[in-house]
Amino acid sequence: MSRQIILDTETTGIGAGHRIIEIGCVEMIDRQLTGNHFHVYLNPDRAIDEGAFRVHGISREFLEDKPRFKDVLDEFLAFIKNSELIIHNAPFDTGFINVEFDLCKYTKKIQDICSVIDTLSMAKKKHPGQKNNLDALCKRYDVDNTNRTLHGALLDAEILASVYLAMTGGQISLFDKLLGEQESSSTASQFSYTPLTSTSPVIFATEEELQRHEEW
């Protein structure tokens, strides 16, 4: 069984001294979303940069009655245990999480607990020289992000799950693209196809095999 957690955070800003104010995680087992999730807002005990507020719309006043990171540490660790983390621009999120660990006197780094896949690094290898932020990838892989007027950790994690599945299941996307091109050409206006049927079991590639294929 392959268990993956798609994770995203929102913060008070960028750089030293800033804190996490939201964590959103969704669970995926054997490439299927289970509906289980971890979502929490956190009191950072500090001001939120104006630029960050424009991105996520989370105010300090909203967070005043929310728990601190130390209050949810055990629950967070229990949720991500025995999983592989999938994060877009992973160094940003893992860096902030490790700072929060340090402030809680928790001696491990998140990389000591889970392996981490950075979908931004993956996208840059697949699409060099192109925009590879989450919105650009949604457009490229036809993932619906119409509800994403502001960044939110849980919503972004759910969107990233769809993007990741599309990025690592490229054979279907390629077939759809080729089919669309044939249907749009004047010489293939009558093109049609009948889906193949089979009673054979479907055997999916493991995450290790997918990663080795991506590296190759």
Could you list the active site residues? 151
Say which residue the tokens 């050409």 belong to: 185
Assign 3-state DSSP to the chain and report helix, strand, coil percentages, each to 5: 45, 15, 40
Rounded to whole angstroms, the Cα distance separating 23 from 210 reads 27
Asked if residue 215 lies in contact with residue 122, where contact means CB atoms within 8 angstroms, the answer is no
Rounded to whole angstroms, the Cα distance separating 40 from 33 reads 19
Rounded to whole angstroms, the Cα distance separating 67 from 50 reads 22
Task: Tell me which H or E stretch contains 38.
Answer: strand 32-41
